[in-house]
Each structure stands twice: as structure tokens, then as C-alpha cells.
Structure 1
Amino acid sequence: MGDLFIVVGGNSLAYRLSYELTEHYGVRTTAIVPAEETSYTIRIAERLGPDRTIADTYVSKEALRQAGIDEAAAIAFVDGDDRANIHAAMLAASMRPDIRVVIRMFNQRLGVHIRQLVDNCTVLSASATAAPAFVNAALQRPHSVSAGGRALRVAIGSAIDMDRTPRLIADGIDRDSQEDIEVLPEAAAGSRTAEWMLLQERSPRHAALQFLDASDTGTPRGSHQVSPTSRLMWRASDTLRFFTSAKLRTILIASVVTLLVSLIGIWVLARPFAWALYETLLDVAGSAVPDVYGQPSAVGGDVQRVFQVAITLCGIVLMPVVTAVFVESTATRRSVRTRQPSTGLRGHVVVVGLGNAGTRVTALFRELGVPVVGIERDADARGIAAARVLDVPVVAGDRPIDDALRRAQIGRARAVVAVTGDDVVNLEAALEARAINPEVRVVVRLFDDDFARHIYTKFDNTASRSVSYLAAPAFAAAMMGREVLGTLSVYRKVLLIAEVAVEEGSELAGRELRGVDQPALTRVLAIRRTGSDDYDWSGADRGRVLVPGDRLILAATRTGFGKLPKKRAAD
């Protein structure tokens, strides 16, 4: 096998992965893209060249051979369709049983079984990889990655805790000029004293990587304290909304209010309460005996007659409405439909778009105990069924985004996370949410860096993330036979956390620990020596020579991870 790698797909992840392989790993790359031209297939062709981009209606043997499967080291299937990826992967494996296969799959349970069908296979989920970054951005808490029994997270400026054994990992931080942020700066690979002095300043321009116990993730709960009376009123309102449509609710409420006013009127004017209630119920059913013209009134006079007429007329309306509610709730089986947002929601998160990413983000909020509401235009979207299983309320249907946000109680929400596959739709949702609730936290999924830069420049309390940007390093590493434990974000910059073994024949063997550190590329965080069960996070013995069997936990930029020493070829 050579240094040829194949990417199959025509979406944002396919483009990011092609860029990752060529720019950061410097390997030859070909792509098989759909025959229908899109903005992403155009970008892929511009990146790889037309002779390295094969357009095909579906992944055929001819397309795989033209892409160079006979000499490729690895192939990645990153289409958004699980079934298409599985079929294509099995075809590729039948043609080249020894090729390394990477498959993008949303269904991770199925992915476990696919590994038994396809040899030398890695199954990854782009949405599962990226979802924690969106969730933590919405909750305004540092995203953490578990490694070697520790939880690693990024702290900026005054949030740096000097008791957490911090390591400087970024300098020159400016949210309005993020291209100038320097990740893994020179001080990180230099004197520990110089680094410590920089961290002591806790400057807003510095970011540190902090080490915590694996269980110390600082997970906030999403409970919101309300009074029992308010909770009871909201529960009654939600029950009424569940069993009735908007028109039926209007008629029902108007009829009940009229009945109550008339009941009180009869009670006050002429009858004990029990007798007034008795006559009211009979009037509702149309069974009360009216006064006879010309005879003395048996009731409370003209005013009570008015009340009884109102009750009788309301009864004519009320009884069919009650019947309609019963028929609607049973005949249409409303119990299996998605729950609507409660009028009593407070401090919740609104997720716009229940596709792959939105479904993962929603499930993660639910797992953390944070109240969440989904918004989805497509009633057949994957996330609708998932929301029903998770008992998450959803505003579904093709309606204006401002109306959907109001139905989702955005005015009392803590955050909105817009994660549809369209940058413009996400931007619109974010702007509409901010217009309704200026204090709401906004997290936007954006592929376009110019969009993201403008968002950071113009708005506070806002974060931008890209699913493909976060996921591409993990897919590229898998194609190389490596594993990325997770990614940490410093705004739009990404830091990779990886575990690397020192193997026989590796260029790492025989090198001093300090020699692995490269400014702007890599930084050794911990080492587990041969024969030991625990990682040493102190970083004290930087002169130790690495031997086969040692394991390192590294922080690396995308380029640094691509340039890590490879195993030497056999003589």
C-alpha cells in the first residue's frame, strides 16, 4: 500500500476531510463525488484537481478502480446515508480485503455490528463527535475530553484555575480576529517557569489546558424552581392544549367562562350554591323547566332568566365540543404524537433543526437533565421520532421561524442552538431568536468561516461551531490508523487530544520527551511508562528517553497531528 487515500462523498465533511488529508497530512487523495454538482463537489474538485475527482451516480467498481483502490492505503465513506455507506464499504472491502475502511454512520449500535462484516474497519459518527462542543457552548461551560483518567478542558483569562495544573495552549486570543490566535505557542514548549509566569497574569489573551479528575465535569442541571400553584396551572394548560386544537380551545374556554359567570349569578341572586349548581347542570343538558309566561316566577326574576338562557345556549355549544375533543383525541391517536412545549417552560434550550446533529445535541441535553425543545420543519425528519422516544417537546411543521421560536417559548429560554444543514437558515434562526429575546445565548452551526467571523464581531453571547470542522480530524486520523480522543475548541481554532503508543521501529523510540514538543504543532501532556498503569501528568522529566511500550497523551494542532512521526518501514 502507498500513500493514496480515497474519500467518498460530496458533502461538507467530504470537503473538510479532503482538505485535512492534503493540507495537514500531505498525502495523495482522490475523491468519488455524486454526479450532481453541488458547492461542495466544486470545492473538492478545486482542492484535488479534476483528474483526482471522480463523479459517479453511485459508488461502482469502475469508480473505485478509477479512484485507485488497488493501491490505496485507506478509504472513507462519509455520505449522509448509512445504508449507502454500508453497501459501498462492503463493495470496497470485497475488492481490497486489506484496505483500511472508515465509515460514517449515525446509527452507532449498527456500527458495532458492521465491524464484524467489514475487516479493518472503523465506524465514526460526525454528529456524535461534534455534539458535545455545541452543548457546552450553549451551557457556557468548558468542553472536556477524557484522557488517561483525567478530564481536560480549556479555560481563558480569569477562568484559569492555577490549582488545576494548567498548561498554556493558546495566546493572542481575540474573538474579533480569530485568525491571529496562536495555538500551542512558543512558551508552551519552552521554560516551564516562563509559561507559569504567563499563566499567573491570567490575561484574557491566554488560554490554558486544565487537568481535572475524570468525574469533575461541572455538569449543570437544568431544573428551574417554580411554585406548586404555577406548576398546577401550567399542567392544566398543557393538558388542555394536548387534547384540543386552537379553535376548539377558544370555543371551550369561552363557554366555560360564560357558564361560571352564570352559575355565580344564579347563586348570588336566588339560590343556595348546591341548588344553583343543580339548575346550571340541568340547563347545560337542556333539561331545566322554564318559567311559564304570565305566572309568577319560580326563579330569581328576569336577571336569573338571562343567566339560564346563557347557560342553555352555552350547553348547546359545549356538549358537541366535548364530544369533538373526545373523538379527536381517540380517533387520531394523539397519544403517539410529539409532545408540544409547555407554557411553563423556563431556562430551557431551543434546538433548531432535528437532523443528525440536532438529534445528537437534543439527546445530550436530555442526558444532562437540561430542559430542551426542538424545532423542525420536516415532519418526517429523523429527530422527530427520536424526540418522541426522549419525550422532548417539538414544534413541527413548515411555519415562519419567528412563530416557531415563540411557540418554543424562546422568550424564557437560556439558549438557542441552530444546527440545520443550511448556514442561512441557522443565521436567520439566531437573529430572530435574538430579536425576541436579546439575552438568549446563541450557538450557530456555520460551515462558512466568513459568516462565523462576522457573527463573533457583531454579537456578544454568541458562539459558532462547524460539525465537519470538528469531525474531520477524527476521520483523517482513523484513515491513518490513529485515534483522536477528542477535540477542544478555542473559538474556531481546534486542538486535538490523542493517545499515541511508542512502537518498535517508530521514530519516537529513542527520542527525548522534550524533543516531541514542537511549538504550534504538538505538546506532550502525560506519559505512561512501560510497565506502569498510571499516567504521569507532572511533566517534570522532560529529558527521559522514550522506549517501545511507552504511551503518550498529546495535544496537537491539525498540522501537528499530521506530522507526528510514523512507524519506520521495515528494512
Structure 2
Amino acid sequence: MSRDTRKSPPGSPSAPSLRPFTQARYYSGMSDHFIVVGGNALAHRLAIELTEQYDAQAAAIVPAEETPHVVQLGKVLGADGVIVDGAVTEESLRRAGIDRARAIAFVDGDDRANIHAAMRAAALRPGISIVIRMFNQRLGRHIAQLVANCTVLSASATAAPAFVNAALQRPHSVTAGGRTLWIARGTQIDMRQTPFLIAADVDRDRPADIDMLPEVAARSRTQEWMLLQERSTEHAALQFLDVSHTDLVGNQASTTTRMWWRAVDALRFFTSAKLRTVLIAAVVTLLVAFSGIWLLARPFGWALYESLLDVAGSAVPDVYGQPSAVGGDWQRIFQVAITLSGVVLMPVVTAVFVEGTAARRGVRTRQPGTGLRGHVVVVGLGNAGTRVTTLFHDLGVPVVGVERDPEARGIAAVHGLDVPVVTGDRPIDDALRRAQIARARAVVAVTGDDVANLEAALESRAINPDVRVVVRLFDDDFASHVYTEFGNTASRSVSYLAAPAFAAAMMGREVLGTLSVLRKVLLIAEVAVEPDSALAGAAQRALDRPGLTRVLAVRRAGSTEFDWSGADRGRALVAGDLLIVAATRAGFGGLPGLVG
């Protein structure tokens, strides 16, 4: 699917002029700032994350094309905070103040361009913290060893599990300190579990109104739950994952049914519609005639022998005037029918092999099977779509891809997994029908265009009203309307899910994972207490800030085990302690010692 690259009209109020940054005035007295390189959705979110959540100073190097995200970067950082350059050159890096910057992130969608730019930055400023966005994670591990002080992350790999779990309606989890945490909602909550943390309150009447890490009076968990019920809110709790993920693949058809559909798929694969019509007619005629000969007191083996010879044109007709063999006139009629159908059948079989060979040379992916049931349709095979499709395949969930661009990078990837794909620039409803959306369990629309994703979701729901819908949407207001108006629907944003991890990497911190509560995210992170950190000497309870942060567990200096009990929260933290913290984006950005 193509990405929306509509430009704002030049000179419009919503599109501030972005000119090449020719003076170092903006950065002349600043140091320890952050540089974002890229002009896409992730660059936009990352700039917001740095400036709003961490209250840090940032600059951006963007491409010359004035896309909507580049325009928004100009609004976030100011026109003078955006350096416009067709490529990441030494000049643009110096203008961005790389000699005084604390960290730089390369978040363009081109792996090769990011690698080259990162190496150029490392040569200009040895020791600078570098974060690279790369789709190829195997290559990324080698690059992280090659470039000093470098962290390689994949936005699509970070966000993909949230899309998959939303489609399967199963909890997304994060492993921390040897335990697995997940967000439970409503009747899923087991109040007997510990630890038990109220992660969020969601107003049922206004699902977009989410109170993350709310302050709750000290009372029993049952009383907390009753209090939340009286406030007409839905409770979302952070607790251990202790559920069995079943029914991933859905109801399995019987062996006979599966064999029948496989035969149909094989026929569809090897033949065109015209050949199938001729072939089926010839075979039906042959079967009827064979049955007639068999029923005329012929043994089955003898009837089969004569029929096969007749098909090959080797039959010996009766001589006129002599008495016929067993069967009489009816046998003659059936033999004529078999011979004539054989005349048609043999060339058709030859044509099938020729056509199949030619088709296999031109077709790179197989088509969805007619008998496909309980599968997931992924619309858009870009970076995110490829990751999502791969995860479904790894889980054993049947999956079908839909991609308009036959040259998209995901085509080759899913071809290697033998995943069926519908390609071509056809109407989305036709593509969805070819993907057997009527019998699918879920559709995940993850193109780079919000409108295209919404269109795919609406067309899917029109064909299959019961299908589970997961939509990739960048715009938060857009997503809020989707949640309000449509049931059995989830919305996720790749950049929103990935930006906290990239920002944390720039800060030198590690985010273990993110947990979603609708469109909000809760970060689970490890925070080490350094000797010179502001955390050293602070009481543990000082980090429990409603709406911002909560300490889940502590591994005390010299210990090898995490304490999840929550006891002794008044203890002063010392250098060497390791904390597992649940935090909102704002809370994580405000942890002491994150920004120098």
C-alpha cells in the first residue's frame, strides 16, 4: 500500500516555511541536546517524546520533501530547529550541533541510509550515543558491534506484538525480573494475584478518557474494585500472566473437508477458469460413461480397462453384422462418449501442465485457498505488516497478506514463509474477498495511510460483520472516534508504541516493553541506581507518583532476586539497586537522572 505523502500548500498557516538552517545561532550556547534524523511519523513522535516527556532540547534533520510530518516537526521544534537537507551530510550534522549533542537517532525507513549516516556521525563525534532504526535485525546486531556506543532498534518489531495480540484478543505481556506482566480488564482480573496494580481507569462512556496509574485510597483490593465500579469506570490492572492461550487457529475442519478444499485449491492453482470448465465437463462425461459400462454386467476391473483404453483412443469397435459383446447398444453409446471425452481430455491435461509451468514462472506468491477458515488478513506488507504477518505465521495462525504494490519489501519475506498474498492495484473490497475475508477471524490494516486503513476496516466489516478489526492510525482524535463508533475494534500506532523505546535508548535507559490500554501505553523499564544519580538516597516510595510512576520490584545491591512484595517502601535506595518501574510516558521522562 502506498504511503500518504500529500504536501501542505506552500504559504498556508498550517505549513510553516522550513528553510535550510544556515546559521548555528539556535545551538550556539546549547549542549547535551538530542538530534532526530528523519521526516516520518516516528521522527515526529520521537521529537514530541523528547521535548514534552523529557523536557529536553532537540533538533531534527529532515529531507527536502515537505511532508505533513516534516511540517509538524517544524511546529514542535520551531522553524530554526529543523535542518532541511536532501541527505545527511557532514554540514547538516554540524549545523545540528553534533559536536555538542548528547545523542542522535536515525529513524529513516531506509536501513542503508541510516547505517551510512550513523557512521558519518560517529566519525564526527566519537563516543556520541547513537540509536539506529533498522528493519533487518540480523544486520542490526552486527552494526551495533561495529559502531561504538550504538543501539539498534526496529520500530516494527517493537510494535508488532501489540497488533497481533489485539487481533487475537489475547493479553500482550512483558517479561521483567523473571515474571510476566500483562494488562487485565474487567472480568479477566484475578484479585487474588500479587502484585496487583491498578494500571488505569477507563470511562465506559468515554473510552478515550483514560486515567493511567490512578491514585486509589489504601484499602483492600475488593474495596478498590467496588470503588471503581461505583465511579462507572472499567478497571485495568497490571498482574501476572497466568492464562492458557488457546484457540489460536480456530475451529479445525474435518479431515475429509480439508482434503476436498485442498483438491479444489490444487485445481484452481493449475488451471484457468476456461480450462476448468472444459476439464470438469470431460471428467463428468467420462465418469458417467464408465459407470454405465460397469453396470452392464461388466466386472469393475474389466470396465476400468476398457474405459482407459477408450480414453486413449485404443478401443476396438464391434464389427457390423456380428453380435455385440456384453452390453449391446448401450455399451457402444458409452464407449463413444468415453472416446470423445478422451479426445478432449488428453489435450486439456497437456494444456494444464504447460499453463501451470508458465504460471509458476510468473507468480511469486501463492493465492489464498478456497477452504481457508479462521485466518487473519493483514492489509499492507510494509515494515509493520511484514512483522505482523511473520508473528502470526510463527504462532501457527493462518494468515493472508494483501498488498497493492507487487514490489513491496514484504512480498519477498512472506513468499519465503509460503504465506498466500493478494497483490495488484485492485479495489480493496475485491482484494479482501480474494483473501476470504468473509470467513476470516480478524483483519489487521497496517498501511502507512490512516484513510486507507480505515477504508480496509470498513470494507471488511461490510463483508463480514463479525470480523475483529485492528487498525493502524497515527491521529489520536481519529482513533478516538473509531473506538467510540465501532465495536470489536482496536487501534494501534506504530510510532506511538515505538517512540518511548527510542527515546529511552537515547537517554541510555532500557525499556523492557510497553503494555497498551487502548491508545495509552504503560512502560515497563529497568532503572539502575547509579552512585551519582539523584535516585541514590531517595526513599522508594518517593518514586510512587500517581499518574506517573510506580516501583514494582527492587533488586537490592548484592542480591540476585527481585523483591515483588512491596514491603519496606520507606527504605532509601542505594547505589547498585535495580528497580523495575511501571511508568507513563511522562512519568518515565521525569525520573530523576534521566536528563542531564
Identify the TM-score tier after normalising by the shorter chain: over 0.9
Mark the CA change 1:317 to 1:129 in structure 2 (over 3 Å): closer, same or farther.
same
Mark the CA change 1:337 to 1:351 in structure 2 (over 3 Å): closer, same or farther.
same
1:520-539 equivalence runs, <5 A: 520-539=547-566
Q: How many residues align?
A: 563
Q: Distance in 2 between matches of 1:209 and 1:401?
A: 39
Match of 2:198 in 1: 168
Q: Does the 8 Å CA contact 2:507/2:595 hold for their aligned counterparts?
A: no
Q: Distance in 2 between matches of 1:421 and 1:217?
A: 33
SS of 1:277's equivalent?
helix
Moved more, 297-306 or 494-503: 297-306
1:292-441 equivalence runs, <5 A: 300=327, 304-330=331-357, 333=360, 337-441=364-468
1:67-466 equivalence runs, <5 A: 67-165=96-194, 166-174=196-204, 177-187=206-216, 191-193=217-219, 197-199=223-225, 203=229, 205-212=234-241, 218=245, 221-222=248-249, 224-269=251-296, 271-290=298-317, 300=327, 304-330=331-357, 333=360, 337-466=364-493
Mark the CA change 1:496 to 1:225 in structure 2 (over 3 Å): closer, same or farther.
same
Q: Does the 8 Å CA contact 1:505/1:567 hold for their aligned counterparts?
A: no
Q: Distance in 1 between matches of 2:557 and 2:583?
A: 23
Deviation of residue 79 (structure 1)? 0.7
Residue deviations 1:62-113, cap 9 Å, x none? 1111222121111111111111111111111111112111000011110110
Q: Distance in 2 between matches of 1:367 and 1:510?
A: 46
1:470 aligns with 2:497: yes
Q: Does the 8 Å CA contact 1:157/1:202 hold for their aligned counterparts?
A: no
Match of 1:482 in 2: 509
Match of 2:569 in 1: 542
Q: Distance in 2 between matches of 1:74 and 1:246?
A: 60
Residue deviations 1:306-347, cap 9 Å, x none? 544443333233212211222334455469842332333222
Q: Does the 8 Å CA contact 1:178/1:492 hold for their aligned counterparts?
A: no
Mark the CA change 1:241 to 1:194 in structure 2 (over 3 Å): closer, same or farther.
same
Mark the CA change 1:414 to 1:179 in structure 2 (over 3 Å): closer, same or farther.
closer
Q: Does the 8 Å CA contact 2:453/2:472 hold for their aligned counterparts?
A: yes
Q: Distance in 2 between matches of 1:359 and 1:271?
A: 59
Deviation of residue 227 (structure 1)? 1.9
SS of 1:169's equivalent?
strand
Deviation of residue 493 (structure 1)? 0.9
Q: Does the 8 Å CA contact 1:355/1:381 hold for their aligned counterparts?
A: yes
User: In the alignment, which of 535, 538, 546 is matched to residue 508 of structure 1?
Assistant: 535
Q: Distance in 1 between matches of 2:566 and 2:489?
A: 35
Moved more, 11-20 or 385-394: 385-394
SS of 1:288's equivalent?
coil
Q: Does the 8 Å CA contact 1:410/1:433 hold for their aligned counterparts?
A: yes
Deviation of residue 470 (structure 1)? 0.3
Q: Which amino acid aligns with 2:59?
A: T
Q: Distance in 1 between matches of 2:244 and 2:581?
A: 20
SS of 1:251's equivalent?
helix
Moved more, 42-51 or 495-504: 42-51
SS of 1:206's equivalent?
strand
Q: Does the 8 Å CA contact 2:191/2:222 hold for their aligned counterparts?
A: no
Deviation of residue 542 (structure 1)? 1.2
Moved more, 534-543 or 390-399: 390-399
Residue deviations 1:272-314, cap 9 Å, x none? 4434333332332233345677877668566555544443333
C-alpha RMSD over aligned residues: 2.4
Deviation of residue 180 (structure 1)? 2.0
Match of 2:80 in 1: 51
Q: Distance in 1 between matches of 2:326 and 2:74?
A: 89
SS of 1:116's equivalent?
helix
Q: Does the 8 Å CA contact 1:222/1:369 hold for their aligned counterparts?
A: yes
SS of 1:163's equivalent?
coil
Q: Which amino acid aligns with 1:558?
A: R
SS of 1:553's equivalent?
strand
Residue deviations 1:225-263, cap 9 Å, x none? 322211221222233233333433333222212211222
Mark the CA change 1:563 to 1:519 in structure 2 (over 3 Å): closer, same or farther.
same
Moved more, 434-443 or 235-244: 235-244
SS of 2:102's equivalent?
strand
Mark the CA change 1:379 to 1:492 in structure 2 (over 3 Å): closer, same or farther.
same
Where do 5+ consecutive residues of structure 1 fail to align? Answer: none
Q: Distance in 2 between matches of 1:357 and 1:419?
A: 7
Q: Which amino acid aligns with 1:169?
A: A
Match of 1:566 in 2: 593
SS of 1:464's equivalent?
strand
Moved more, 427-436 or 6-15: 427-436
Match of 2:12 in 1: none
Q: Distance in 2 between matches of 1:248 and 1:398?
A: 26
Q: Distance in 2 between matches of 1:206 and 1:80?
A: 38
Q: Does the 8 Å CA contact 1:168/1:199 hold for their aligned counterparts?
A: no
Q: Does the 8 Å CA contact 1:219/1:368 hold for their aligned counterparts?
A: no
Deviation of residue 446 (structure 1)? 1.0
Moved more, 264-273 or 361-370: 264-273
Residue deviations 1:348-400, cap 9 Å, x none? 21111121111111111122222222222222222222222223222233333
User: In the alignment, which of 91, 94, 98 is matched to residue 62 of structure 1?
Assistant: 91
Match of 1:21 in 2: 50
Q: Distance in 2 between matches of 1:296 and 1:271?
A: 17
1:518 aligns with 2:548: no
Q: Distance in 1 between matches of 2:274 and 2:73?
A: 52
Q: Which amino acid aligns with 1:123?
A: V
Match of 1:11 in 2: 40
Q: Does the 8 Å CA contact 1:223/1:371 hold for their aligned counterparts?
A: no
